[in-house]
Amino acid sequence: MPSRTRPIEKFAQAVAKCSAEASVYGKCIVADYNSVHKDKCLTEFLRLKDCYMAAAKKS
Amino acid sequence: MKPATLRSFLPRPAIRRRIFIERNYAVQAPGNPTLQVFDRHTKYLQKERAAANVERNRQVDYLKDEVAMRLTERLLDINRTFNHVLDLGANSCNIARALTLPDPDPDPSKTTSLPLSSRVSHITAADSSRAMLYRDAELPFNQEINLTREVLDDEERLPFGGNTFDAVLSSLSMHWINDLPSVLAQINHVLKPDTPFMAAMFGGDTLFELRTSLQLADQERRGGVSPHVSPLADVRDMGGLLQKAGFKMLTVDVDDIIVDFPDTFALMQDLQAMGEGNAILGREAGPIKKDVLLANEGIYRELHGNEDGTIPATFRMIYMIGWKEGPNQSQPLPRGSGQINIKDILGGGEVK
């Protein structure tokens, strides 16, 4: 019996397609991780999220 | 005249039930009051759920099996046979299985070398999670060792009498204990005089990568942090705790096991499947938010990621050995009484 794909696995697959955006976002945080505050890297995050949404829709 | 009392006509249990209020003296080592850090019931549920998926649970036993093996290897250093051994917090009896494996350090002068289990006459594996404990009850290794399984109500209260065991082992379970000083004292109590206690537990820097990147993700996405990774005992504390519990001739050492994962989701899924999910009191209800997970993936990779695209996760194991005090036990010599300079034996002394 093929097992059902867990939501987290779908999530992981979609995120894996956005490694470039994830890396840009990560770099933005890591550049100065001693002074992280809310929405410090909002634009980078939104770009990552848009990419993820598009990837999730396709699969 | 006194009104007739009904009390003597009431069935006894009705009265009993009212006065049956359980009161206990607080059990604790002298010193600070005990802090409740972990939700023991949640931990129980997590382990039961994890063990319900037998196949997946076996897949992620790599860590527990490895640590159990490294721990039992230390038994080789003690030239004794053990009549009755307790495995406290046995998970799926990983220690019993490790004992039945072929001798990891065979003596070349002998043709056959028996597995460690030949030196253990009887092992009691105790755990609070029944499903986890009985998961592998049908496997062949059960026949190779005299193994009894015992389900505990709570690993923090040992139901065994004093001077019962010839050794107590514990592998990857004590990091979920709230009141470590009390449990260590209880272990000391159930041991016979001059017998060892050996344990391995997650310590200090375990999963520091996940801890830091989740904190950063939480901070940036939501403007605050919530505990996702347990606080763990430090190596330096363990010596003091063992000493307080009355153990002698202590040995505490650490060992890092670094596991590479394809991504953070694989890491977190494995932790969940092991039954090692977050069980801190005062954690947030519900799963981690999707946004935070998304942010975490990017940060983890940038901050800690390997060059080949995988991510490392560090598990820092603290191994400890302590002996219950007994007559004729060898004692450490007084400080400053050494006659031989260790430099003469090891040679050199200059750091190149």
CATH at residue B81: 3.40.50.150
CA B209 to chain A, closest CA, distance in angstroms equals 13
CA A1 to chain B, closest CA, distance in angstroms equals 14
Q: What SS3 state is found at B351? A: coil
Chain-centre distance for alpha carbon B44: 14
Domain residue extents for chain A: 7-58
Q: What average pLDDT score do residues B207-217 get?
A: 94
Q: What is the pLDDT of residue B349?
A: 61
**CA-closest candidate to residue B132, choices B172, B175, B105:** B172
* Beta strand pairing call for B147-151 and B167-171: unpaired
**CA-closest candidate to residue B149, choices B166, B162, B163, B132:** B132
Q: Which residues of A touch B209 (CB under 8 A)?
A: none
Q: What is the pTM of this model?
A: 0.83
- Rounded Cα–Cα distance for residues B325 and B196 (Å): 9
B20, part of any domain: no
Would you call A15 and B269 a contact, using CB atoms and an 8 Å cutoff?
no
B79, part of any domain: yes
CA A57 to chain B, closest CA, distance in angstroms equals 16
pLDDT tens column, B222-246: 998 888 998 899 998 999 999 999 9
Q: What is the pLDDT of residue B30?
A: 56
The residue of chain A nearest to residue B265, with distances taken between CA atoms, is: A12
Which segment of B81-85, B192-196, B208-212, B283-287 scores lowest on mean pLDDT? B283-287
Residue B261 has pLDDT above 90, yes or no: yes
Which domain, by its residues, includes B88?
A: 28-203+232-256+315-326
Q: Which residues of B touch A29 (CB under 8 A)?
A: 216-217, 220, 295, 298-299, 302-303
AA identity, residue B227: P
B346, part of any domain: no
Residues B148/B177, Cβ–Cβ less than 8 Å: no
Residue B14 has pLDDT above 50, yes or no: no
B42, part of any domain: yes
B350, part of any domain: no
- Rounded Cα–Cα distance for residues B268 and B60 (Å): 12
Q: How many domains does chain B have?
A: 1
Q: What average pLDDT score do residues B32-55 get?
A: 87
AA identity, residue B290: K
Residue B19 has pLDDT above 60, yes or no: no
Where does the pLDDT of residue B133 fall: very low under 50, low under 70, confident under 90, or very high at 90 and above? very high
Q: What is the pLDDT of residue B23?
A: 58
Q: What average pLDDT score do residues B282-289 get?
A: 86
Which comes out higher in pLDDT, residue B347 or B286? B286
Which comes out higher in pLDDT, residue B338 or B59? B59
Residue B134 has pLDDT above 60, yes or no: yes
Q: What is the pLDDT of residue B345?
A: 79
Q: What SS3 state is found at B116? A: helix
- Rounded Cα–Cα distance for residues A44 and A29 (Å): 10
When the pLDDT of each residue in chain B is averaged and rounded to a whole number, the result is: 87
Q: Which residues of A touch B294 (CB under 8 A)?
A: 15, 22, 45, 48-49, 52
**CA dist B192 to B118, B196, B215, B324, B325, Å?**
21, 9, 45, 7, 9
B342, part of any domain: no
Name the interface residues of B facing A (CB cutoff 8 Å).
216-217, 219-223, 263, 265-266, 268-269, 290-291, 293-295, 297-303
Would you call B295 and A45 a contact, using CB atoms and an 8 Å cutoff?
yes
Which comes out higher in pLDDT, residue B1 or B100? B100
